[in-house]
Chains A and B, each alone.
Chain A
Amino acid sequence: MITKENYKQSLKDYQPKPKYFRNCLKAFMVGGFICLIGQGLTFFYMEMFGFTSKEAGNPTVTTLILIAALLTGFGLYDKIGQFAGAGSAVPVTGFANSITSAALEHKSEGIVLGISTNMFKLAGSVIVFGTVAAYVVGVIRYTIQTLF
């Protein structure tokens, strides 16, 4: 007798098990490398333009976003993503990639209805959750600060 439950169970035997260690190692190397480039850019902006380490954050992120958008345009970022998994999705470059690839994917539908309306199809959730979370935490923290 095949029920929904034991069907799922019997399927499990035939599904490939993810290679946990190998995937983590790849994510670590690629993610770490992207942060390494970020650190290099931070030092570059501090040296060349006399920014403090905090001020250098914005130009660093902007540069990484530009690189990621271009790599997505050339179709290279998706190849890195297939190899690195979370290693290329978690850094801010993954955010830029999700915006650019969604925009490119819908290019054929036009500039307004295709590119512009679909741009935030994937990245929208990041902005929504980030804003809601920051708002809630901000209200809580400000309330505690004013009370005590």
Chain B
Amino acid sequence: MIMDFFWAFVVGGAICVIGQLLLDIFKLTPAHVMSSFVVAGAVLDGFGLYDKLIEFAGAGATVPITSFGHSLLHGAMVQAEEHGFLGIAVGIFQLTSAGIASAILFGFIVALIFKPRG
């Protein structure tokens, strides 16, 4: 249990360090970094590597935005097994739906209630 927390911290932190290096050295904007990370997550999952990282690091791999690309592909592949090429489009948002829906819902409610600052 302690080791699970340790590896979640180290792997999650390391992914953020890669992002920070992209910001500082290659002068990318945060939007570019996030987009690249999502693509990287999908590509890594294409080779079956991201699941191994999740097994090893737990939330250290599921919390960074790279897992969004991984979940998109996973949902797509599950439906592709059943429905072929059409299934890819059917399943692509299946696993990420909770994240996107709650981000829209909470974002909307917060924007209604709070006043903009700064």
A interface with B by C-beta (< 8 Å) = 18, 20, 23-24, 26-36, 38-43, 53, 57-62, 64-66, 69-70, 72-75, 78, 84-87, 89-96, 98-100, 103-105, 107-108, 111, 115-116, 119, 122-123, 125-131, 133-135, 137-142
Residue of A nearest to B48 (CB): A141
CA distance A75 to B118 in the complex (A): 8
Residue of B nearest to A116 (CB): B108
B114 near A137: Cβ-Cβ < 8 Å: no
CA distance A61 to B71 in the complex (A): 12
Q: Pull 25 A–B residue pairs with CB atoms less than 8 Å apart, ordered by A.
A: A23-B24, A24-B21, A26-B20, A28-B20, A38-B59, A61-B63, A62-B98, A64-B63, A75-B117, A86-B19, A86-B30, A87-B19, A92-B65, A95-B34, A95-B65, A100-B106, A100-B110, A125-B35, A126-B34, A127-B100, A130-B35, A138-B77, A138-B80, A142-B80, A142-B84
Contacts of A65 in B (CB 8 A): 99, 102-103, 106
How many positions in chain B have a CB within 8 Å of any CB in the partner chain?
75
Contacts of B92 in A (CB 8 A): 131, 134-135, 138
Besides A27-B20, A39-B5, 18 other A-B contacts (C-beta < 8 A): A23-B20, A24-B21, A28-B16, A30-B16, A31-B64, A42-B58, A43-B1, A58-B98, A58-B99, A65-B102, A73-B113, A85-B19, A86-B23, A89-B34, A95-B68, A103-B110, A107-B111, A127-B100
A85 near B76: Cβ-Cβ < 8 Å: no
Closest Cβ of chain B: how far from A6's Cβ, in Å? 20
Q: Chain B binding site: helix, strand, loop or mixed by DSSP?
A: helix
Residue of B nearest to A18 (CB): B24
B interface with A by C-beta (< 8 Å) = 1, 4-5, 8-25, 30-31, 33-39, 41-43, 45-46, 58-60, 62-65, 67-69, 72-73, 76-77, 80, 84-85, 88-89, 92, 95, 98-100, 102-104, 106-118
B72 near A130: Cβ-Cβ < 8 Å: yes
Closest Cβ of chain B: how far from A132's Cβ, in Å? 8
Contacts of B4 in A (CB 8 A): 39, 43
Contacts of B25 in A (CB 8 A): 20
Closest Cβ of chain B: how far from A23's Cβ, in Å? 5
